[in-house]
Structure 1
Amino acid sequence: MTTDNTTVFVSGATGFIALHVVSDLLKAGYIVIGSGRSKEKNDGLLRRFNNHPNLSVEIVKDIAAPNAFDEVFKKHGKKIKVVLHTASPFHFQTTDFEKDLLTPAVNGTKSILKAIKEYAADTVEKVVITSSVAALVNPGDMGNPSLLISEESWNRDTWESCQANAVAAYCGSKKFAEKAAWEFLKENKSSVKFSLSTVNPGYVFGPQMFADSLKNGINTSSGIIAELVHSKAGGQFQNYSGVFIDVRDVSKAHLVAFENPECAGQRLVLSEGLFCSQEAVDALNEEFPQLRGKIATGEPGSGPSFLEKNSCKFDNSKTKKLLGFKFYNLRDCIVDTASQMLEVQNQV
């Protein structure tokens, strides 16, 4: 696919991952139409990209509303060739799991696909959905060292069982939204022309596209690093664990997902390996002299043995082959994330 005049629609364009995606698309020469929840957010986005001539933004107030994307596709459908659906709720501040996590994730995915079918069936050629490793494995199984997860795996929670708590509900929301997308394509194969790929990242670390966005809060995964940066010497921390990936690699993968024809119909599992908070805090203590002695240390060096006992195994060799580029390692990822946080706090 040539970039000349190729128009890409990015839903949820003001999000942590999406801002990197928008930046990479503009650098590659694509025309980008984004969506955001309000005029204020959208104006902020345009300002951040210096009112780039190839960038415009539309308001989609609520992705869970029926026909949420209809207006955008009525207006622009005839020129959009690629759709990157990154918008989905990701937070744990709720007890109404269906209303705040499950339903919006599923409805948002269905409504964007329906809008494509209705108004851009002949023009949209590629759809990439930002899913998650959470669609592959539920939180309980994540800690099972005898389990091997790959591109073929699915989270085994049901709609009911994933409502045990907010984390399980978020993971369930990613599974059911992704399932809805594959089912939609199966049912509508004859009336749309697009191929579908999903991008399934683990914990996403790495710097924000714009450092000042840290002043308005932080994405959920990077919050783990922020907690450690703000921990106290001798203090305790929760030893989170799972697979990780750098946001810059997630962004790059979204472009390869639609540019490389071999990615059509594939689930791209983005993981550079396992991490735990202990390994992250070791990196912070080793790489930032100004933090040494001021933040928690836990049990230095115990990360690998903790992961051996407390994490399932991942095999995403198929994805790595399809994408064909090297991912950031954990140390660089943590250092770049923390450096930006410290810079914003003027602690460097």
Structure 2
Amino acid sequence: MTNSKDKTVLVTGGSGFIAVHCILKLLQEGYSVRTTLRSLSRKEEVQQMLKVGGFNSFEKLSFIEANLSSDNNWDEAVKGCEYVLHVASPTPAIQFTHEDELINPAKEGVLRVLKASRDANVKRVVLTSAFGAVGMGHKNRRTPYTEEDWTNIDSNIHAYQKSKTIAEQTAWEFIKNEGGNLELSAINPVAVMGPILGADFSHSHRMIKQMLEGEIKACPKIYSCYIDVRDVADLHLLAMTHPNANGERFLATTGNVLSMLDVAKILKRRLGNKALKVPTRELPNWILKLSALKNPSLRMIATLIGQYMQASGEKAKKSLNWYPRSNEDSIVATAESLFKLGLIKK
């Protein structure tokens, strides 16, 4: 068993939704945590999110300013660290003129972190990748995606998914050719749900928020697997220390696929009067496609219409003894946290 008391872990992008849950879990396990922020002005915000998560002692938490688009401070960030959780990712721009605006920052960012980690004799980096690097661009798929699958970047997919795929492939290529003794594991989460700790949350949560506020009048015919952020954090820690995780990627998913209408029905059933504005009908595909032509924020969603999205979480369960919560519990936890933090407009 790893003695966490004398180990320091770097978590990149500490203000992010998954990252702050990873920090919370690491601190609960007794690790010393250093985390990067693009601006140290967000330090108090991270501490407040950790307090919402039930953790109030910050003696083992430190902050350093570092940006994935710059070489500055990365050597200092990884210095003395046993492990690195590379969770940070450049924020996807809704509007961009060329896909390289998303691809290049993601690719360059992962190389900065890996090079600094190798040079500092870090033992292992755990990369937060995405299902978007596994299951996009495959036509006529009818069997669950596994870690053996890679997104087809030559197909007509959104540039964000292409950037996640290329960034992860770049990481594995670096480890193979230039990694030295550095170890690498990758986590590929599906749509992430679970309790939010602050105003910084994922696009999956935004969908729940829009449903509860009545902004979504009908559910697009889109299917997805889901996972709780607490289980994603648990999987990061298992991948960080478990001997079976070196050189492996792991899909973070319950393995159960739901339509958006299924999600709406869960909210209706479990939240009662709080879910009065949640839609109960489905949106014809042509309306979403037409709307996406005018609204850039809908374009990535529109590319998912009709996509087979089933993904298997069996590898992580068998290799790492990882057992996630149910989809229903994590969806309800999402909604309840939005209400608790006053983020739902009346």
Q: What TM-score range do you get, normalising by the shorter chain?
A: 0.7 to 0.9
1:195 aligns with 2:172: no
* Counterpart Cα distance in 2 of 1:297 and 1:259: 44
CA deviations on 1:61-88 (whole Å, 9 max, x unpaired) are x3123x24xx242x35441110110011
Q: Summarize the alignment of residues 173-188 of structure 1 with structure 2, pairs less than 5 Å apart.
A: 173-188=163-178
Q: Tell me the secondary structure at the aligned position of residue 80 of structure 1.
A: coil
Q: Tell me the secondary structure at the aligned position of residue 328 of structure 1.
A: coil
- Which has the larger displacement, 195-204 or 323-332? 323-332
Kindly provide the amino acid, as one letter, of the partner of residue 185 in structure 1.
Answer: I
Q: Summarize the alignment of residues 235-254 of structure 1 with structure 2, pairs less than 5 Å apart.
A: 235-254=217-236
Percentage of identical aligned residues: 29
* Counterpart Cα distance in 1 of 2:24 and 2:6: 16
User: How many pairs are equivalent?
Assistant: 316
Q: Tell me the secondary structure at the aligned position of residue 249 of structure 1.
A: helix
8 Å Cα contact 1:91-1:220 kept in structure 2: no
1:57 aligns with 2:47: no
8 Å Cα contact 2:10-2:77 kept in structure 1: no
Q: Summarize the alignment of residues 30-45 of structure 1 with structure 2, pairs less than 5 Å apart.
A: 30-45=31-46
Change (3 A) 1:77 1:346: closer
8 Å Cα contact 1:42-1:58 kept in structure 2: no
* Counterpart Cα distance in 1 of 2:274 and 2:94: 30
* Counterpart Cα distance in 2 of 1:185 and 1:247: 27
- TM-superposed CA distance for 1:58, in Å, is 0.3
Change (3 A) 1:72 1:253: same
* Counterpart Cα distance in 2 of 1:332 and 1:56: 32
Equivalence for 1:150:
146
8 Å Cα contact 1:246-1:333 kept in structure 2: yes
1:311 aligns with 2:308: yes
1:259 aligns with 2:257: no
CA RMSD of aligned residues (A): 2.4
Q: Which of 267, 272, 278 is the matching residue for 1:289?
A: 272
- TM-superposed CA distance for 1:310, in Å, is 5.2
8 Å Cα contact 1:145-1:313 kept in structure 2: no
CA deviations on 1:238-281 (whole Å, 9 max, x unpaired) are 23322211101000100000121111111011111212211110
8 Å Cα contact 1:81-1:126 kept in structure 2: yes
Kindly provide the amino acid, as one letter, of the partner of residue 161 in structure 2.
Answer: C
- TM-superposed CA distance for 1:108, in Å, is 0.4
Change (3 A) 1:144 1:332: farther
1:320 aligns with 2:317: yes
Equivalence for 1:303:
none
Change (3 A) 1:232 1:219: closer
TM-score norm. by structure 2 comes to 0.84
Change (3 A) 1:90 1:344: same
8 Å Cα contact 1:89-1:100 kept in structure 2: no
Equivalence for 1:304:
none
Kindly provide the amino acid, as one letter, of the partner of residue 59 in structure 2.
Answer: P
8 Å Cα contact 2:147-2:251 kept in structure 1: yes
Equivalence for 2:204:
221
8 Å Cα contact 2:83-2:122 kept in structure 1: yes
* Counterpart Cα distance in 2 of 1:293 and 1:43: 35
TM-score norm. by structure 1 comes to 0.83
8 Å Cα contact 2:214-2:278 kept in structure 1: yes
Equivalence for 1:124:
122
- Structure 2 residue ranges without an equivalent (≥5): 51-55, 283-303
* Counterpart Cα distance in 1 of 2:77 and 2:49: 23
Equivalence for 1:104:
105
Kindly provide the amino acid, as one letter, of the partner of residue 260 in structure 1.
Answer: H
Kindly provide the amino acid, as one letter, of the partner of residue 191 in structure 2.
Answer: Y
Change (3 A) 1:37 1:78: closer
- TM-superposed CA distance for 1:92, in Å, is 4.7
* Counterpart Cα distance in 1 of 2:275 and 2:24: 35
Q: Tell me the secondary structure at the aligned position of residue 34 of structure 1.
A: strand
Kindly provide the amino acid, as one letter, of the partner of residue 268 in structure 2.
Answer: N
Kindly provide the amino acid, as one letter, of the partner of residue 334 in structure 2.
Answer: T
- TM-superposed CA distance for 1:291, in Å, is 3.5
1:336 aligns with 2:330: no
- TM-superposed CA distance for 1:227, in Å, is 1.7
8 Å Cα contact 2:135-2:309 kept in structure 1: no
CA deviations on 1:111-164 (whole Å, 9 max, x unpaired) are 11112233x0xx3101100001111121x43x7452441111000113xx56x6
Change (3 A) 1:64 1:298: same
8 Å Cα contact 1:64-1:104 kept in structure 2: yes
- Which has the larger displacement, 26-35 or 236-245? 236-245
* Counterpart Cα distance in 1 of 2:215 and 2:115: 50
CA deviations on 1:275-324 (whole Å, 9 max, x unpaired) are 2211110011111111354331116xxxxxxx9x8524433312221231
Q: Tell me the secondary structure at the aligned position of residue 129 of structure 1.
A: strand
* Counterpart Cα distance in 1 of 2:98 and 2:271: 39
Q: Tell me the secondary structure at the aligned position of residue 96 of structure 1.
A: coil
